[in-house]
């Protein structure tokens, strides 16, 4: 009678070439994430250096004579 767990069966039945492919896929995913971050880091800043908005002045008329 075979009393192996499901996990033990999965570990023993793992394909040999599969781990190499998984490593390559994970490496490409990591590389693409790093390249995406670097792309945003190297973008020039497009925000205006000064804000040009119309300000509203609040005047206190009680101080004027």
Give pTM, 2 decimals: 0.46
Give one DSSP letter per residue of 1-65, joined into a string: -----HHHHHHHT--HHHHHHHHHHHHHHHHHHHHHHHHHHHSPP-S-SS----------TTS--
Write down the domain spans for the chain. Answer: 15-42
The C-alpha R_g of the chain, in whole angstroms, comes to: 32
pLDDT in tens, 22-62: 899 999 999 999 999 999 888 777 766 665 555 555 666 66
Quote the CA–CA distance of 26 and 32 in Å, as a whole number: 10
pLDDT in tens, 25-36: 999 999 999 999
């Amino acid at each position: 009678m075979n009393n192996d767990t499901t996990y033990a069966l999965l570990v023993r039945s793992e394909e040999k070439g599969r781990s190499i492919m998984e490593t390559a896929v994970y490496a490409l995913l990591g590389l693409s994430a790093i390249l995406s971050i670097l792309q945003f880091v190297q973008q020039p800043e497009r925000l205006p250096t000064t804000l040009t908005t119309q300000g509203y002045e609040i005047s206190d008329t009680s101080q004027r004579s």
